[in-house]
C-alpha cells in the first residue's frame, strides 16, 4: 500500500500529506458509492494516479477482510507523516488489543443492560475503537448495544478513523467522528456521558 501511494505521489506531484489525504477521500467516496459529477470533482487531478490508488484501496480492502485491525495508522507512519513533536503517536495493534482486553469486561456487562457509547477523544486512526470492537461479542455490535465515537484535532486522523470504521462495517454503530470544533453543544453533552478510552 505504501509503495502504491508513493508511486501515486510521484505521478501527481502532490506532497505525501496531500496524496494520503486524497487517497482517504476517494477511498471513502468509492466505498459509499459516490458517482458522476461528485466523483469527478473528488478525483480531479488524480487521473494519472488512479491505478495506484485503486491498488492501495484493494490492499486495504483485502487487509480489512482479515478482521479488525488498523492498516491506515501504520501506513501513515511509514509514509513519515506522524510527528512526535506534536504528540502524534499511533498505538500499535498489539498494544491496542491488550488495552481493549483489560477494559472489555465492564463494557460487556454494561452493554448487556443498556446501550453504551465508547468515546476516543484522540482517535488517531481509530485503532482503539477497532480493538474494542474486536474484543466485544459480535452480538452486541449487531444489536447496536455499543456505539462508537471519536474526535481528533487532526483532520487526516478523522478521515482515517471514519474509513477504518467503514472498512470494518462499524458505521452503523458509529455516533460521530469529527474535529472538536465541529461538535454541537448536544454532542458534547452526549460524549460527556460516554465511556472514554
How much is the pLDDT for 144?
A: 93
pLDDT at 170: 95
**Per-residue pLDDT for 85 more than 70?**
no
Weakest-pLDDT range from 69-73, 82-86, 110-114, 166-170 = 82-86
Look up the pTM and report it: 0.93
pLDDT at 73: 92
The confidence band for 79, taking pLDDT boundaries of 50, 70 and 90, is: confident
Mean pLDDT rounded to a whole number for the chain: 93
State the Cα–Cα distance between residues 135 and 2, nearest whole angstrom.
Answer: 28
| Domains, the chain, with CATH or none | 2-66 (no CATH), 93-196 (3.40.50.150)
- pLDDT digits over 160-197, tens only? 999 999 999 999 999 999 999 999 999 999 999 998 88
- Compute the distance between CA of residue 25 and CA of residue 19 in angstroms, rounded to an integer: 10
pLDDT grade, residue 64 (50/70/90)? very high
At residue 78, the pLDDT reads: 87
First to last CA, the chain: 29
Share of the chain above pLDDT 70, in %: 96
| pLDDT confidence tier of residue 84, bands split at 50, 70 and 90 | low
Distances (CA, A) of 74 to 69, 99, 102: 11, 18, 23
Q: Which residues 6+ apart lie within 8 Å of 175 measured at CB?
A: 117, 147, 148, 149, 190
Confidence category of residue 86, pLDDT binned at 50, 70, 90: low
* 135: Cα separation from own chain's centroid: 17
Residue 167's pLDDT is 95
**What pLDDT is attached to residue 80?**
79
Amino acid at each position: 500500500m505504501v509503495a502504491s501511494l508513493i508511486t501515486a505521489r510521484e505521478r501527481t506531484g502532490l506532497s505525501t500529506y496531500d496524496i494520503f489525504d486524497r487517497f482517504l477521500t476517494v477511498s471513502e467516496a468509492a466505498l459509499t458509492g459516490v458517482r458522476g459529477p461528485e466523483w469527478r470533482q473528488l478525483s480531479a487531478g488524480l487521473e494519472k494516479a488512479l491505478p495506484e490508488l485503486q491498488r492501495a484501496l484493494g490492499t486495504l480492502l483485502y487487509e480489512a477482510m482479515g478482521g479488525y485491525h488498523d492498516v491506515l495508522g501504520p501506513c501513515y507512519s511509514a509514509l513519515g507523516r506522524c510527528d512526535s513533536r506534536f504528540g502524534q503517536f499511533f498505538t500499535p495493534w498489539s498494544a491496542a488489543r491488550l488495552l481493549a482486553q483489560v477494559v472489555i469486561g465492564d463494557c460487556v456487562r454494561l452493554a448487556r443492560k443498556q446501550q453504551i457509547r465508547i468515546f476516543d477523544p484522540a482517535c488517531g486512526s481509530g485503532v482503539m475503537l477497532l480493538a474494542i470492537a474486536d474484543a466485544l461479542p459480535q452480538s452486541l455490535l449487531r444489536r447496536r448495544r455499543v456505539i462508537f465515537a471519536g474526535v481528533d484535532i487532526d483532520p487526516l486522523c478523522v478521515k482515517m478513523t471514519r474509513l477504518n470504521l467503514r472498512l470494518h462495517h462499524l458505521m452503523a454503530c458509529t455516533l460521530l467522528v469529527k474535529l472538536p470544533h465541529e461538535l454541537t453543544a448536544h454532542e458534547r453533552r452526549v460524549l460527556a456521558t460516554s465511556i472514554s478510552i
